Amino acid sequence: MRIDLNEIQHWIKQGSRILDLGCGDGTLLKFLHDNKQTEGYGLEIDAEQINICIDKGLNVIEQNLDRGLGNFADNSFDTVLMTQALQTLHFPHKVLDEMLRVGKECIVTFPNFGHWKARYHLATRGRMPVSDLLPYEWYNTPNIHFCTFKDFEVLCREKNIKVIHRQVVNEQSVQLLKDAMPNLFGETAIYHLSKQ
């Protein structure tokens, strides 16, 4: 399982009601259902991913996140999750507002664009970074709103969002450096949020 997904489970309570935005092939939903007895729904727009969710017997709903979450009531989920999808949204700040409206708590993960590899790539080659985690060219990437750790911190402050936990994870862990300078050495950011 992707490393950010593995970390997330510690913040999900047994038997809670969850909503997974951009649930992909349902790996996380299925894992949480099997291990934490959660119930809930996944939202996805990719046809093949939806098919795989159906094969797994998950509640998957075809819905574009940029259309908002108008069909979900205030505080109707214990946790609203969104893993590695923030950077693909047209209006990430608005979706974040919606997540905090619908969920009592939220968990967001995204690739940290401030990671040293990205900085090095841009600084030395003068071109947009392409890596294992972000294997796209600038013109065909679904990732249209990159941000760094610090950027996200600023957004949370501006929106008066409470950060319950923050964590960075790397596929190959460079623990000390990562903990000392997360914006430079953290590949993936994981935020556990709630309203103030």
Partner 1 sequence: MPDVLPPDSVGIVTPQTLHFSEPLLLACGKTLSDYQLVYETYGQLNAHKSNAVLICHALSGHHHAAGYHSMSDKRPGWWDSYIGPGKPIDTHKFYVVSLNNIGGCHGSTGPSSINPETGKPWGPDFPKLRVRDWVHSQARLADKLGIDVWAAVIGGSLGGMQAMRWTLEYPHRVRHCAVIASALKLSAQNIAFNETARQAIISDPNFHDGRYQEHDTVPRHGLGVARMIGHITYLSDYDMGEKFGRDLRSGSFDIGSDEDVEFQIESYLRYQGGNFAKQFDANSYLLITKALDYFDLGREYGDDPIAAFKLAQAKFLVISFSTDWRFAPERSHEIVSALIGANKAVTYAEIESKSGHDAFLLPDERYQQVFGRYLAGIATE
Residues that bind partner 1 (CB under 8 A): 17, 39, 41, 47, 50-51, 53-55, 57-63, 71-73, 76
Amino acid at 108: V
For residue 14, the minimal CB distance to partner 1 (Å) is 18
- Quote the least distance from Cβ 61 to partner 1, whole Å: 4
DSSP letters, 29-52, are HHHHHHHH--EEEEEE--HHHHHH
Q: Nearer to partner 1 by C-beta: 63 or 84?
A: 63
Is 42 in a helix, a strand, or coil?
strand
CB of 47 to partner 1, least distance (A): 6
Query: Are the CB atoms for 129 and 118 separated by under 8 Å?
Result: yes
- Dist CA 88 CA 122 (whole Å): 20
Phi, psi of 138 (to 5 degrees): -60, -30
Instruction: Please state the closest distance from residue 193 (CB atom) to partner 1, in A.
Output: 22
Cβ nearer to partner 1, comparing 43 with 106: 43
Residue closer to partner 1, measured from CB, 22 or 182: 22
Smallest distance, partner 1 to C-beta of residue 60, A: 5
45-47-51 Cα angle (round to 5): 115
Count CB atoms within 10 A of the CB of residue 7. 18
